[in-house]
Structure 1
Amino acid sequence: MADGKPSTLVLLLLVALHLIAFGFAVAAERRRSTGRVVPEPNEVDVTYCVYKSDIATGYGVGAFLFLLLAEALIMGVTKCLCCGSSLTPGGSRAWAIIYFLSSWLTFLIAETCLMAGAVRNAHHTKYRNSLHIGTFSCETLRKGVFGAGAAFTVFTMILSVLYYLNFTKSRDGVRKTVRGQSNVGMTSFP
Protein backbone atom coordinates (compact mmCIF):
# COMPACT_ATOMS: atom_id res chain seq x y z
CA MET A 1 0.00 0.00 0.00
CA ALA A 2 2.75 2.44 -0.83
CA ASP A 3 1.77 5.94 -1.91
CA GLY A 4 -1.95 5.35 -1.50
CA LYS A 5 -2.10 2.60 -4.10
CA PRO A 6 -3.98 -0.49 -3.08
CA SER A 7 -2.26 -3.83 -3.45
CA THR A 8 -3.20 -5.50 -6.73
CA LEU A 9 -2.66 -8.91 -5.16
CA VAL A 10 -5.11 -8.15 -2.35
CA LEU A 11 -7.71 -6.88 -4.84
CA LEU A 12 -7.30 -9.96 -7.07
CA LEU A 13 -7.57 -12.35 -4.13
CA LEU A 14 -10.56 -10.47 -2.76
CA VAL A 15 -12.43 -10.59 -6.07
CA ALA A 16 -11.42 -14.21 -6.76
CA LEU A 17 -12.64 -15.46 -3.36
CA HIS A 18 -15.95 -13.63 -3.73
CA LEU A 19 -16.45 -14.97 -7.27
CA ILE A 20 -15.72 -18.53 -6.12
CA ALA A 21 -18.25 -18.11 -3.30
CA PHE A 22 -20.74 -16.71 -5.83
CA GLY A 23 -20.17 -19.69 -8.13
CA PHE A 24 -20.75 -22.15 -5.31
CA ALA A 25 -23.93 -20.33 -4.26
CA VAL A 26 -25.30 -20.40 -7.81
CA ALA A 27 -24.42 -24.09 -8.13
CA ALA A 28 -26.17 -24.76 -4.81
CA GLU A 29 -29.29 -22.97 -6.05
CA ARG A 30 -29.34 -25.01 -9.23
CA ARG A 31 -28.77 -28.34 -7.44
CA ARG A 32 -31.20 -27.98 -4.53
CA SER A 33 -32.59 -31.24 -3.19
CA THR A 34 -35.90 -32.34 -4.61
CA GLY A 35 -38.08 -35.07 -3.22
CA ARG A 36 -40.91 -37.25 -4.38
CA VAL A 37 -43.57 -39.10 -2.46
CA VAL A 38 -43.36 -42.89 -2.65
CA PRO A 39 -45.89 -45.31 -1.09
CA GLU A 40 -44.57 -47.76 1.49
CA PRO A 41 -44.92 -51.25 -0.09
CA ASN A 42 -45.88 -53.15 3.10
CA GLU A 43 -48.05 -50.50 4.76
CA VAL A 44 -51.48 -49.11 3.99
CA ASP A 45 -51.78 -45.36 3.41
CA VAL A 46 -48.19 -44.70 4.51
CA THR A 47 -45.82 -42.87 2.25
CA TYR A 48 -42.27 -41.66 2.50
CA CYS A 49 -40.05 -39.17 0.71
CA VAL A 50 -37.19 -40.09 -1.58
CA TYR A 51 -34.69 -37.29 -2.18
CA LYS A 52 -32.30 -36.76 -5.03
CA SER A 53 -28.68 -35.73 -4.63
CA ASP A 54 -27.72 -33.66 -1.59
CA ILE A 55 -24.78 -31.92 -3.27
CA ALA A 56 -26.31 -28.45 -2.83
CA THR A 57 -25.55 -28.61 0.88
CA GLY A 58 -21.86 -29.03 0.12
CA TYR A 59 -21.95 -26.19 -2.39
CA GLY A 60 -23.68 -23.97 0.16
CA VAL A 61 -21.07 -24.73 2.81
CA GLY A 62 -18.31 -24.11 0.25
CA ALA A 63 -19.80 -20.71 -0.62
CA PHE A 64 -20.07 -19.92 3.10
CA LEU A 65 -16.39 -20.78 3.70
CA PHE A 66 -15.03 -18.89 0.68
CA LEU A 67 -17.04 -15.80 1.61
CA LEU A 68 -15.77 -16.09 5.18
CA LEU A 69 -12.20 -16.37 3.88
CA ALA A 70 -12.67 -13.26 1.71
CA GLU A 71 -13.97 -11.30 4.70
CA ALA A 72 -11.09 -12.51 6.86
CA LEU A 73 -8.64 -11.38 4.16
CA ILE A 74 -10.00 -7.84 3.89
CA MET A 75 -10.30 -7.47 7.67
CA GLY A 76 -6.77 -8.79 8.16
CA VAL A 77 -5.28 -6.45 5.56
CA THR A 78 -7.09 -3.38 6.88
CA LYS A 79 -6.83 -4.44 10.52
CA CYS A 80 -10.62 -4.30 10.74
CA LEU A 81 -10.57 -0.50 10.38
CA CYS A 82 -10.42 0.00 14.15
CA CYS A 83 -6.95 -1.36 14.92
CA GLY A 84 -3.74 0.28 13.85
CA SER A 85 -3.09 3.96 13.31
CA SER A 86 -5.95 6.33 12.64
CA LEU A 87 -7.04 7.41 9.20
CA THR A 88 -6.81 10.93 7.84
CA PRO A 89 -10.05 12.87 8.36
CA GLY A 90 -11.88 13.59 5.16
CA GLY A 91 -14.04 12.09 2.48
CA SER A 92 -12.01 8.91 2.03
CA ARG A 93 -12.24 8.06 5.72
CA ALA A 94 -15.98 8.75 5.79
CA TRP A 95 -16.57 6.56 2.73
CA ALA A 96 -14.29 3.86 4.14
CA ILE A 97 -16.41 3.74 7.30
CA ILE A 98 -19.67 3.66 5.30
CA TYR A 99 -18.40 0.89 3.02
CA PHE A 100 -16.99 -1.00 6.00
CA LEU A 101 -20.36 -1.05 7.79
CA SER A 102 -22.29 -1.79 4.59
CA SER A 103 -19.99 -4.65 3.62
CA TRP A 104 -20.39 -6.20 7.07
CA LEU A 105 -24.17 -5.95 6.81
CA THR A 106 -24.28 -7.61 3.38
CA PHE A 107 -21.70 -10.18 4.51
CA LEU A 108 -23.86 -11.20 7.48
CA ILE A 109 -26.97 -11.45 5.29
CA ALA A 110 -25.12 -13.53 2.68
CA GLU A 111 -23.65 -15.86 5.30
CA THR A 112 -27.05 -16.28 6.95
CA CYS A 113 -28.68 -17.17 3.62
CA LEU A 114 -25.92 -19.62 2.71
CA MET A 115 -25.84 -21.37 6.07
CA ALA A 116 -29.62 -21.49 6.45
CA GLY A 117 -29.89 -22.83 2.92
CA ALA A 118 -27.30 -25.52 3.55
CA VAL A 119 -28.94 -26.60 6.81
CA ARG A 120 -32.46 -26.56 5.39
CA ASN A 121 -31.35 -28.36 2.22
CA ALA A 122 -29.82 -31.13 4.34
CA HIS A 123 -33.07 -31.58 6.32
CA HIS A 124 -35.07 -34.46 4.89
CA THR A 125 -38.37 -35.79 6.14
CA LYS A 126 -38.86 -39.54 6.29
CA TYR A 127 -42.36 -40.91 6.71
CA ARG A 128 -45.76 -39.27 6.41
CA ASN A 129 -49.21 -40.67 6.92
CA SER A 130 -51.37 -39.54 4.03
CA LEU A 131 -54.64 -40.15 5.95
CA HIS A 132 -53.94 -37.35 8.44
CA ILE A 133 -52.21 -34.89 6.20
CA GLY A 134 -54.04 -35.21 2.90
CA THR A 135 -52.12 -33.96 -0.07
CA PHE A 136 -48.55 -33.03 0.73
CA SER A 137 -45.16 -32.75 -0.79
CA CYS A 138 -41.77 -33.61 0.59
CA GLU A 139 -40.15 -30.75 2.45
CA THR A 140 -37.42 -29.07 0.44
CA LEU A 141 -35.55 -25.82 0.52
CA ARG A 142 -37.52 -22.89 -0.83
CA LYS A 143 -36.28 -21.68 -4.19
CA GLY A 144 -34.14 -18.55 -4.02
CA VAL A 145 -32.40 -18.93 -0.65
CA PHE A 146 -29.03 -19.76 -2.19
CA GLY A 147 -29.77 -17.21 -4.92
CA ALA A 148 -30.18 -14.50 -2.29
CA GLY A 149 -26.89 -15.61 -0.76
CA ALA A 150 -25.26 -15.32 -4.18
CA ALA A 151 -26.67 -11.83 -4.74
CA PHE A 152 -25.50 -10.61 -1.34
CA THR A 153 -22.10 -12.16 -2.04
CA VAL A 154 -21.78 -9.88 -5.08
CA PHE A 155 -22.91 -6.87 -3.03
CA THR A 156 -20.34 -7.77 -0.37
CA MET A 157 -17.61 -8.01 -3.00
CA ILE A 158 -18.39 -4.58 -4.44
CA LEU A 159 -18.61 -2.93 -1.02
CA SER A 160 -15.43 -4.65 0.22
CA VAL A 161 -13.45 -3.47 -2.81
CA LEU A 162 -14.76 0.08 -2.37
CA TYR A 163 -13.95 -0.08 1.34
CA TYR A 164 -10.39 -1.22 0.60
CA LEU A 165 -9.83 1.48 -2.02
CA ASN A 166 -11.07 4.26 0.27
CA PHE A 167 -9.15 2.81 3.20
CA THR A 168 -5.88 2.96 1.24
CA LYS A 169 -6.61 6.55 0.15
CA SER A 170 -7.23 7.59 3.72
CA ARG A 171 -4.20 5.64 4.94
CA ASP A 172 -2.04 7.49 2.40
CA GLY A 173 -3.13 10.79 3.95
CA VAL A 174 -1.79 9.58 7.31
CA ARG A 175 1.63 8.90 5.78
CA LYS A 176 1.78 12.29 4.08
CA THR A 177 0.78 14.04 7.30
CA VAL A 178 3.40 12.22 9.33
CA ARG A 179 6.15 12.91 6.78
CA GLY A 180 5.18 16.56 6.29
CA GLN A 181 5.05 17.52 9.96
CA SER A 182 7.73 19.87 11.17
CA ASN A 183 9.33 19.56 14.54
CA VAL A 184 8.38 22.08 17.16
CA GLY A 185 11.46 24.02 18.17
CA MET A 186 12.15 24.35 21.85
CA THR A 187 13.46 27.74 22.96
CA SER A 188 14.61 28.76 26.34
CA PHE A 189 12.94 31.66 28.12
CA PRO A 190 15.28 34.57 29.05
Structure 2
Amino acid sequence: MAVSISVLVAIISLNLMAFVLAIGAERRRSTARVVPDQYDEYTYCVYDSDASTAYGLSAFGLLLISQTLVNGVTRCLCFGNGLVRGCSRVMSIFFFVFSWVTFLAAEACLIAGSAKNAYHTKYKEIYGGNDLSCETLRKGVFAAGAALTFLSMIASIVYYLVHSKADTGGWLKHENEGLGMTSLENRDHVSAGQFEKL
Protein backbone atom coordinates (compact mmCIF):
# COMPACT_ATOMS: atom_id res chain seq x y z
CA MET A 1 0.00 0.00 0.00
CA ALA A 2 1.46 3.34 -1.04
CA VAL A 3 1.58 6.31 1.31
CA SER A 4 -1.10 8.89 0.53
CA ILE A 5 -0.10 12.51 1.11
CA SER A 6 -3.75 13.53 1.46
CA VAL A 7 -4.27 10.98 4.26
CA LEU A 8 -1.14 12.22 6.05
CA VAL A 9 -2.27 15.85 5.75
CA ALA A 10 -5.72 14.94 7.08
CA ILE A 11 -4.28 13.05 10.06
CA ILE A 12 -1.91 15.88 10.97
CA SER A 13 -4.55 18.60 10.48
CA LEU A 14 -7.20 16.88 12.59
CA ASN A 15 -4.79 16.11 15.41
CA LEU A 16 -3.28 19.59 15.44
CA MET A 17 -6.73 21.18 15.59
CA ALA A 18 -7.65 18.85 18.46
CA PHE A 19 -4.38 19.77 20.21
CA VAL A 20 -5.02 23.52 19.85
CA LEU A 21 -8.60 23.15 21.11
CA ALA A 22 -7.43 21.14 24.12
CA ILE A 23 -4.92 23.89 24.97
CA GLY A 24 -7.71 26.44 24.58
CA ALA A 25 -9.94 24.38 26.87
CA GLU A 26 -7.22 24.39 29.54
CA ARG A 27 -6.87 28.16 29.34
CA ARG A 28 -10.63 28.79 29.43
CA ARG A 29 -11.57 26.53 32.34
CA SER A 30 -14.64 27.67 34.26
CA THR A 31 -14.03 29.58 37.47
CA ALA A 32 -16.57 30.27 40.18
CA ARG A 33 -17.07 32.74 42.97
CA VAL A 34 -19.39 32.74 45.97
CA VAL A 35 -21.83 35.65 46.04
CA PRO A 36 -24.72 36.53 48.37
CA ASP A 37 -28.25 36.84 47.07
CA GLN A 38 -29.98 40.20 46.92
CA TYR A 39 -31.46 39.78 50.39
CA ASP A 40 -28.21 38.61 52.01
CA GLU A 41 -29.90 35.42 53.18
CA TYR A 42 -28.01 32.86 51.10
CA THR A 43 -24.76 32.49 49.22
CA TYR A 44 -24.45 30.62 45.97
CA CYS A 45 -21.88 29.88 43.27
CA VAL A 46 -21.67 31.97 40.13
CA TYR A 47 -19.75 30.42 37.22
CA ASP A 48 -18.25 32.14 34.21
CA SER A 49 -18.29 30.99 30.57
CA ASP A 50 -18.49 27.30 29.61
CA ALA A 51 -16.31 27.79 26.50
CA SER A 52 -13.88 25.21 27.84
CA THR A 53 -16.52 22.49 27.61
CA ALA A 54 -17.20 23.29 23.95
CA TYR A 55 -13.46 23.29 23.18
CA GLY A 56 -12.97 19.98 24.94
CA LEU A 57 -15.85 18.28 23.15
CA SER A 58 -14.67 19.64 19.78
CA ALA A 59 -11.17 18.27 20.43
CA PHE A 60 -12.74 14.93 21.41
CA GLY A 61 -14.64 14.77 18.11
CA LEU A 62 -11.67 15.73 15.93
CA LEU A 63 -9.42 13.17 17.59
CA LEU A 64 -12.08 10.50 17.10
CA ILE A 65 -12.36 11.33 13.39
CA SER A 66 -8.58 11.17 13.00
CA GLN A 67 -8.32 7.77 14.68
CA THR A 68 -11.21 6.45 12.57
CA LEU A 69 -9.48 7.67 9.42
CA VAL A 70 -6.15 6.01 10.26
CA ASN A 71 -7.73 2.70 11.16
CA GLY A 72 -10.08 2.82 8.18
CA VAL A 73 -7.20 3.27 5.74
CA THR A 74 -5.07 0.56 7.37
CA ARG A 75 -8.12 -1.64 8.03
CA CYS A 76 -7.36 -1.66 11.74
CA LEU A 77 -4.29 -3.88 11.19
CA CYS A 78 -6.46 -6.99 11.52
CA PHE A 79 -8.65 -7.04 8.41
CA GLY A 80 -6.25 -5.99 5.69
CA ASN A 81 -3.73 -7.90 3.63
CA GLY A 82 -0.85 -9.69 5.29
CA LEU A 83 2.19 -7.76 6.45
CA VAL A 84 5.72 -8.58 5.36
CA ARG A 85 7.67 -10.32 8.11
CA GLY A 86 10.46 -8.35 9.69
CA CYS A 87 11.16 -5.13 11.53
CA SER A 88 8.42 -3.16 9.73
CA ARG A 89 5.77 -5.61 10.86
CA VAL A 90 6.92 -5.50 14.51
CA MET A 91 7.05 -1.70 14.50
CA SER A 92 3.64 -1.54 12.83
CA ILE A 93 2.08 -3.63 15.60
CA PHE A 94 3.88 -1.62 18.32
CA PHE A 95 2.75 1.77 17.01
CA PHE A 96 -0.76 0.43 16.39
CA VAL A 97 -1.06 -0.45 20.09
CA PHE A 98 0.68 2.76 21.19
CA SER A 99 -1.62 4.93 19.06
CA TRP A 100 -4.69 3.27 20.58
CA VAL A 101 -3.41 3.64 24.16
CA THR A 102 -2.63 7.35 23.73
CA PHE A 103 -5.89 7.90 21.83
CA LEU A 104 -8.04 6.34 24.55
CA ALA A 105 -6.19 8.18 27.32
CA ALA A 106 -6.55 11.52 25.49
CA GLU A 107 -10.24 10.94 24.86
CA ALA A 108 -10.78 10.04 28.53
CA CYS A 109 -9.11 13.29 29.64
CA LEU A 110 -11.07 15.39 27.16
CA ILE A 111 -14.50 13.92 27.91
CA ALA A 112 -13.96 13.84 31.68
CA GLY A 113 -12.65 17.41 31.66
CA SER A 114 -15.58 18.62 29.57
CA ALA A 115 -18.12 16.91 31.82
CA LYS A 116 -16.52 18.21 35.02
CA ASN A 117 -16.16 21.71 33.61
CA ALA A 118 -19.85 21.76 32.66
CA TYR A 119 -20.92 20.76 36.17
CA HIS A 120 -22.07 23.66 38.33
CA THR A 121 -22.66 23.39 42.05
CA LYS A 122 -26.45 23.48 42.53
CA TYR A 123 -26.80 23.99 46.27
CA LYS A 124 -26.72 27.20 48.29
CA GLU A 125 -25.91 27.99 51.88
CA ILE A 126 -27.26 30.26 54.57
CA TYR A 127 -25.40 33.55 54.50
CA GLY A 128 -22.72 33.76 57.18
CA GLY A 129 -22.44 29.98 57.56
CA ASN A 130 -19.53 27.77 56.57
CA ASP A 131 -17.68 28.49 53.35
CA LEU A 132 -19.59 27.25 50.32
CA SER A 133 -17.57 24.95 48.08
CA CYS A 134 -17.95 25.71 44.36
CA GLU A 135 -16.77 22.69 42.41
CA THR A 136 -14.54 23.43 39.42
CA LEU A 137 -12.27 21.41 37.17
CA ARG A 138 -8.75 20.96 38.47
CA LYS A 139 -5.92 22.48 36.50
CA GLY A 140 -4.06 20.15 34.13
CA VAL A 141 -6.81 17.78 32.91
CA PHE A 142 -7.14 19.39 29.48
CA ALA A 143 -3.37 19.94 29.36
CA ALA A 144 -2.88 16.19 29.83
CA GLY A 145 -5.43 15.60 27.07
CA ALA A 146 -3.49 17.96 24.80
CA ALA A 147 -0.18 16.19 25.49
CA LEU A 148 -1.74 12.79 24.85
CA THR A 149 -3.35 14.11 21.67
CA PHE A 150 0.07 15.15 20.40
CA LEU A 151 1.52 11.73 21.26
CA SER A 152 -1.43 10.07 19.53
CA MET A 153 -0.73 12.12 16.41
CA ILE A 154 2.93 11.05 16.33
CA ALA A 155 2.02 7.41 16.94
CA SER A 156 -0.68 7.46 14.23
CA ILE A 157 1.66 8.99 11.64
CA VAL A 158 4.45 6.50 12.34
CA TYR A 159 1.96 3.61 12.39
CA TYR A 160 0.53 4.66 9.03
CA LEU A 161 3.96 5.04 7.42
CA VAL A 162 5.34 1.76 8.79
CA HIS A 163 2.14 -0.10 7.96
CA SER A 164 2.30 1.20 4.39
CA LYS A 165 5.85 -0.12 4.11
CA ALA A 166 4.98 -3.52 5.60
CA ASP A 167 1.72 -4.04 3.69
CA THR A 168 2.08 -6.50 0.81
CA GLY A 169 -0.90 -5.02 -1.02
CA GLY A 170 -2.19 -8.54 -1.66
CA TRP A 171 0.75 -9.47 -3.92
CA LEU A 172 3.32 -12.04 -2.97
CA LYS A 173 6.77 -12.18 -4.52
CA HIS A 174 7.36 -15.31 -6.56
CA GLU A 175 10.67 -16.24 -8.10
CA ASN A 176 10.57 -18.14 -11.37
CA GLU A 177 13.51 -20.46 -11.64
CA GLY A 178 14.61 -22.93 -14.29
CA LEU A 179 12.85 -21.48 -17.33
CA GLY A 180 14.39 -18.86 -19.53
CA MET A 181 14.23 -17.94 -23.20
CA THR A 182 16.99 -20.37 -24.11
CA SER A 183 15.17 -23.18 -22.34
CA LEU A 184 11.99 -22.44 -24.27
CA GLU A 185 13.85 -22.30 -27.60
CA ASN A 186 15.55 -25.65 -26.90
CA ARG A 187 12.20 -27.19 -26.01
CA ASP A 188 10.72 -26.00 -29.34
CA HIS A 189 13.65 -27.51 -31.32
CA VAL A 190 13.30 -30.84 -29.51
CA SER A 191 9.57 -30.93 -30.17
CA ALA A 192 10.12 -30.19 -33.88
CA GLY A 193 12.77 -32.94 -34.17
CA GLN A 194 10.46 -35.46 -32.52
CA PHE A 195 7.65 -34.50 -34.91
CA GLU A 196 9.91 -35.05 -37.98
CA LYS A 197 10.84 -38.53 -36.76
CA LEU A 198 7.17 -39.42 -36.61
- Calculate the TM-score normalised by the size of structure 1: 0.87
Matches within 5 A, 1:87-166: 87-129=83-125, 134-166=130-162
- Judged with a 3 Å threshold, the aligned counterparts in structure 2 of structure 1 residues 130 and 166 are, in CA distance, closer, same or farther, namely farther
**Once structures 1 and 2 are overlaid, which stretch shifts more, 33-42 or 140-149?**
33-42
Tell whether 2:174 aligns with 1:180.
yes
The separation in 1 between residues aligned to 2:146 and 2:129, in whole angstroms, is 35
What amino acid is aligned across from residue 127 of structure 1 in structure 2? Y
Percent identical residues:
49
Contact map agreement 2:81 2:169 (CA 8 A) in 1 = no
Tell whether 2:4 aligns with 1:10.
no
What amino acid is aligned across from residue 36 of structure 2 in structure 1? P
Question: Residue in 1 aligned with 2:51?
Answer: 55
- Where does structure 2 lack aligned partners over 5 or more consecutive residues? 180-198
Contact map agreement 2:57 2:110 (CA 8 A) in 1 = yes
- CA offsets per residue over residues 39-67 of structure 1, 9 Å max, x none? 122353x2101111111110000000000
- Calculate the TM-score normalised by the size of structure 2: 0.83
Contact map agreement 2:36 2:44 (CA 8 A) in 1 = yes
- CA offsets per residue over residues 132-183 of structure 1, 9 Å max, x none? 9723441111111111000000000000111011101101xx2596143549
- Judged with a 3 Å threshold, the aligned counterparts in structure 2 of structure 1 residues 177 and 76 are, in CA distance, closer, same or farther, namely closer
Contact map agreement 1:99 1:159 (CA 8 A) in 2 = yes
Tell whether 2:31 aligns with 1:37.
no
Q: Which secondary structure state, in structure 1, belongs to the residue aligned with residue 84 of structure 2?
A: coil
Question: Residue in 2 aligned with 1:78?
Answer: 74
What is the number of residues matched between the two proteins?
A: 178
Question: Residue in 2 aligned with 1:167?
Answer: 163
- Judged with a 3 Å threshold, the aligned counterparts in structure 2 of structure 1 residues 91 and 132 are, in CA distance, closer, same or farther, namely farther
Give the superposed CA RMSD: 2.1
Question: Residue in 2 aligned with 1:21?
Answer: 18
Question: Residue in 2 aligned with 1:69?
Answer: 65
- Where does structure 1 lack aligned partners over 5 or more consecutive residues? 186-190
